[in-house]
Amino acid sequence: MWSKWARDWKVQPAEAVIERLRLVRGGDIVLLHDGDHRVAEGDRRHTVRAVEYWLPRWKDAGLRFVTVDDWNLKF
């Protein structure tokens, strides 16, 4: 299960997603979407912009990123 939810499945300003991700801390599992399942060509720009904003900041803060497969191997 995730601990932080960006609520990014529908098109919205990237700033809204950026703000929701402000509370991410080490150990969190962040749920992000790759578009609206009801639309074949969903617009993902707001999610991509939020990730572009946060990834370098999270790295600078010492957060590590793992895939679900990597995470499963540890437990």
Cβ contacts of residue 32 below 8 Å, gap of 6+?
6, 8, 47, 51
Number of structural domains found in the chain: 1
At position 36, the amino acid (one-letter code) is D
pTM here is 0.81
Q: Dump pLDDT digits (tens) for 29-51.
A: 898 887 666 766 678 899 999 99
Distance CA 35, CA 65 (A): 21
Domain ranges, residue 49: 4-74
Tens of pLDDT, residues 4-25: 989 998 889 999 999 999 999 9
